[in-house]
C-alpha cells in the first residue's frame, strides 16, 4: 500500500501514477480518509488533462455514419431508413468533417431541403436521425466532441387548416 502512517500521526501518500519510471507524488495528510481519497483521485485523473482542449475530430461524416451503422444502426428496426436520412444529409452538406458540423451548416441544410420543396416535419425527422447517431456515438465514447444537433430549434411545421366552407358545412349538417 502506498499510504504510510508517520510517527507524528499523519499519513503520507507516496505514489507513481505513471509507473516506476514516472513522476513521484508525495503528500502528507492529517486523516487517513483524506490520504485514500487523494490516492484514488490521483490514480483516476492522472491521464485526463482537463486543462488541455481535446483535439478536433477530423473524421468525415461518412466515416461516423459507417461507425454508427456497424455499432447500432443495422440492429435497429428502422436502421435502414435512418441510414438513408444520414446519407442524404451527408450528400447535401458535401461530407463535412465532424468539427465542421455547426449550426450554420445545419441552417444551410434547412435552406437546401426547403428549396427542394421538402416539408418542415420531414427535415425535423431527418435531424432527429442525425441527433440519434451522435448520441449513440457519444454514449459509446466513439465521439468526444460537443453534440452538434442538441439545443437546435426545430422548424415550425405548417398546420393544415381544414375548415369547411358555408356550403360544405350545410351539406355535412344535412346528412
pLDDT tens-digit series, residues 92-142: 999 999 889 888 898 899 999 999 999 888 998 999 999 999 999 999 988
Cell numbers linked to 84? 438513408
How much is the pLDDT for 51? Answer: 63
Residue 164 CA: distances (Å) to CA of 56, 170, 173, 175: 56, 9, 11, 15
Predicted pLDDT of residue 164: 67
More confident residue, 4 or 17: 4
- Find the mean pLDDT for residues 139-165: 78
35-89, pLDDT tens digit by residue?
999 998 888 877 766 666 677 888 999 999 999 999 998 999 998 999 999 999 9
**125 to 86, 118, 132, 135: CA distances (angstroms):** 11, 11, 11, 15
pLDDT at residue number 48: 65
Amino acid at each position: 500500500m502506498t499510504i504510510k502512517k508517520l510517527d507524528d500521526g499523519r499519513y503520507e501518500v507516496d505514489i507513481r501514477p505513471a509507473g516506476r519510471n514516472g513522476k513521484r507524488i508525495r503528500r502528507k495528510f492529517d486523516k487517513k480518509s483524506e490520504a485514500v481519497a487523494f490516492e484514488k483521485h490521483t490514480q483516476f485523473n492522472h491521464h485526463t488533462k482537463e486543462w488541455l482542449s481535446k483535439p478536433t475530430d477530423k473524421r468525415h461524416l461518412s466515416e461516423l455514419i459507417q461507425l454508427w451503422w456497424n455499432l447500432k444502426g443495422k440492429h435497429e428496426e428502422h436502421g435502414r431508413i435512418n441510414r438513408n436520412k444520414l446519407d442524404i444529409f451527408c450528400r447535401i452538406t458535401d461530407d463535412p468533417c465532424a468539427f465542421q458540423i455547426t449550426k450554420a451548416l445545419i441552417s444551410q441544410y434547412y435552406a437546401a431541403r426547403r428549396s427542394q420543396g421538402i416539408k418542415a416535419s420531414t427535415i425535423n425527422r431527418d435531424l432527429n436521425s442525425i441527433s440519434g447517431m451522435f448520441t449513440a456515438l457519444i454514449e459509446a465514447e466513439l465521439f468526444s466532441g460537443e453534440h452538434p444537433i442538441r439545443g437546435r430549434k426545430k422548424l415550425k411545421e405548417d398546420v393544415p387548416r381544414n375548415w369547411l366552407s358555408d356550403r360544405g358545412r350545410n351539406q355535412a349538417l344535412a346528412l
